[in-house]
Each structure stands twice: as structure tokens, then as C-alpha cells.
Amino acid sequence: MKKLILTVVMLGFCSVATADIPESCKVYFDKVENIYKNMPENTFNQEILDIIKQNLEQAKQEIIALPEDKQVAACAQGLELLKQIDK
């Protein structure tokens, strides 16, 4: 259930070359991608999973389009949220 909630929350935050992004964003994107990949197949139908994936990619692109200081802030906020949800 926590992973489901996290996925929905991440839709508001989140494949590009990761060489140009801050390390904290690489970590954040990897964690979110792992959560998506590890979602139980029976949680959603494929259409919903495709929409979630598209939204995650769109959010990722939006973060990458920000200036570097804003990228760092957005990813730090996302990582903090992940820590809180994991508790």
C-alpha cells in the first residue's frame, strides 16, 4: 500500500541521459523507477500502469528542465518524501 501511495505522490514530481543531472536526482529517479518496477502486477491493469509510467517520465523531464539548483531542491524533497513513506 505504501508503494501505491508513493507512486501516486510521485506523479507530481518525476529516459534521459543521467550524466547531466545532479547525483541526488540520479538517486531519486532510480528509487522511483525501482518502486514502479516492483509494483505487483495485479495492482493495476496495464493501461493504468502505462499512464503511471508516462506521468513519471513527464515529471522527470520537468525536473530536468529546471535550473540545477531547483533540480537539487526538487530531488531532495522527493528523497525526503521517500524516507517518510518508508517509515
Sign of CA dihedral 72, 21, 65, 39: negative
Range of the domain at 28: 2-86
What is the H or E stretch that residue 8 is in? helix 2-10
Question: Quick check: 63 and 74 in contact, CB under 8 A?
Answer: yes
| Res 49: pLDDT | 85
Inter-residue contact 44 to 33 (CB < 8 Å): no
- Residues 51-74 have pLDDT tens digits of 988 999 999 999 999 999 999 999
Q: Is the pLDDT assigned to residue 2 strictly greater than 90?
A: no
Number of domains in the chain: 1
Q: ∠ CA(48), CA(44), CA(60), 5° rounding?
A: 50
What is the pLDDT confidence band of residue 12, given thresholds at 50, 70 and 90?
Answer: very low
Regarding pTM above 0.85, the answer is no
